Amino acid sequence: MIRPAKIGEIHQIMSITKACAHHMSEQGIEQWNDHYPSQEIFKNDIERGELYVKKIDGQIVGCICITTVMDEEYLPVKWLTLNEINLYVHRLAIHPDYQGKGYARQLMDKAEKMARAKNYTSVRLDTFSKNKRNQRFYEARGYKKLEPIYFPKQSPHPFYCYELIL
């Protein structure tokens, strides 16, 4: 089941993202750290109704932020579509114990279905340049890799922007 997250679930969500950060770090992927994603970011996501959780047998195993708000780091990017009616995906995470079972695909299906239902022109996101698995995942879904952007508090390495035209 995929449903909107609740404020009382922030600790479970943080536990998932910390497990993901540790799992990625073991593979040399320093994508997430103590600054990102933060409890405050998730609180804001939930208050805006933009954070969704994936539950299996009553347990939260993943999350995704689906928003219409464009991050300022995205402003200089040469997107494939105009900056008008686009949906943005952030903080897609599946607990490492549940990865490889299609749950990330289900969360992305949810985002893309929402975008199509509301007649958005595209879905946009970014992923870490060192995270080849994520890059393959998005490219297999039809996302086009665009230019790099930087999040200095996260990493000195770039993040690649991706866009799926609907």
CATH number of the domain at 31, please.
3.40.630.30
Q: What are the residues whose beta carbons fall under 8 Å from the beta carbon of 134, sequence distance 6 or more?
A: 127, 128
Residue 142 to residue 47: CA distance in whole angstroms: 31
Q: What whole-number distance in Å separates Cα of residue 67 and Cα of residue 75?
A: 16
Number of folded domains that form the chain? 1
Please report the pLDDT score of residue 27 as a whole number. Answer: 87
- Contact at 8 Å (CB) between 105 and 140? no
User: For residue 110, what is the DSSP state?
Assistant: H
Can you give the pLDDT at residue 33? 74
Mean pLDDT by groups of 10 residues along the chain of 166 residues: 98 96 86 84 97 97 98 95 96 97 98 98 96 97 97 84 98
What is the residue whose two structure tokens read 């993040």?
159
Calpha distance 124→70 (Å, rounded)? 9
pTM of the model: 0.94
Instruction: For residue 119, count CB atoms less than 10 angstroms from its CB and return exposed for 0-12, middle for 13-18, buried for 19 or more.
Output: exposed
Task: Provide the terminal-to-terminal Cα distance of the chain, rounded to the nearest Å.
Answer: 24
What whole-number distance in Å separates Cα of residue 103 and Cα of residue 52? 12
CA distances from 60 to 4, 104, 114, 135 (A): 11, 13, 21, 24
Could you write out the DSSP letters of every residue in 61-106? EEEEEEESPPPGGGTT---SS-SSSEEEEEEEEE-GGGTTSSHHHH
Q: Which domain holds residue 120?
A: 2-165
